[in-house]
Amino acid sequence: MHQLLEQIVVTGLKTEAPPAPDEALRAIAQRLGKAILDKLGQALVIRHVDPGSCNGCELEIHALNNPYYNIEALGIKFAASPKHADMLLVTGPVAKNMEFALKRAYECTPEPKLVVAVGDCGCGSGKCGKIFCESYASCGRVANVIPVDVAVPGCPPTPLALMQGILTAIDGK
């Protein structure tokens, strides 16, 4: 036990400052009012949905919870059910086989349900946006299946870019 405690003390605090929101990431204009944004800004619950990514974006979403980014300290946490979520964080192109499940998750999310599309293939940007376009097996980018508020490009986007996208979605300016 002393080793565990010693390691915690030796490690110290690692958390770094969060990035500022970036208006350039918005896919559509902010549709939420100040009252609701003030609430979400203090406690945001996210449901992550992967309808077809390569798992690269998931690695970076995991990193959001590491001590450096410590996203939970900002009042943002991940939920197991879309019914408990304010926001869907959706990665990858939408595989045909996941189209129905993604739509179901979207329907289950209570209003005003924000959607953040993640990654070049999820946003239809960059070389991966081109590679993973519509086909017999894929619906292409997330916006082809459900409405998207904020799009965070990158392959995969860094944890900082992800945080920026999430914070932009709940930013009122």
Partner 1 sequence: MRLLDQPLDFKQMPGALAVYRARTYMAGLLSFTRAVKKGGGRFVALWGSDERDRSEKPSEGFSLHVAFGLTEGLALVTIFLPADNPEFPDLSEIFPAANRMQRATYDLLGLHTRSVDQRPWLRHANWPADFFPLRRGPVPKKSFPLSHEDYAFVRVEGDGVHEIPVGPIHAGIIEPGHFRFSIVGERVLRLEQRLGWKHKGIEKIFTRLTLHDGHILAGRVSGDSTVAYAWAYCLAAETLTGCVVPQRAAWLRALMLERERIANHLGDLGYLGNDVALSFGLAQFMRLKEDWLRMSNALFGHRFMMDCIIPGGVAQDLPPDGSELLLEQCETIEHEVRTIKKVYDDHAGLQDRFLTTGRLQPQLAEHLSVSGVVGRASSQVWDLRATNPIAPYDQIDVQMVTHRNGDVAARATVRFEEIIESLRLIRRLIKRMPQGEVSVPLPPVQEGECKVDGANAVGLGWIEGWRGDVLVALEAEANGRIRRCHCHDPSWRNWPALEHAAVGNIVPDFPLINKSFNLSYSGHDL
Q: Does 110 bind partner 1 (CB under 8 A)?
A: no
How far apart are CB 97 and partner 1 at their closest, in Å? 4
107 binds partner 1 (CB under 8 A): no
b/e per residue, 88-112, with b = 16+ CB within 10 A? bbbbbbbbeebbeebeebbeebeee
Q: Are 92 and 137 in contact (CB under 8 A)?
A: no
One character per residue 51-90, x = contact with partner 1 (rule: CB under 8 A): xxxxxxxxxxxxx-xxxx---------x-xx---------
Q: Which residues pair with 78 in a beta bridge?
A: 46
Stretch that binds partner 1, among 1-9, 25-33, 36-44, 162-170 (CB under 8 A): 1-9
Q: 61 or 123: whose CB is closer to partner 1?
A: 61
Q: Which residues contact 64 (CB under 8 A, 6 or more apart)?
A: 71, 159, 162, 163
Note whether 96 binds partner 1 by CB under 8 A: yes
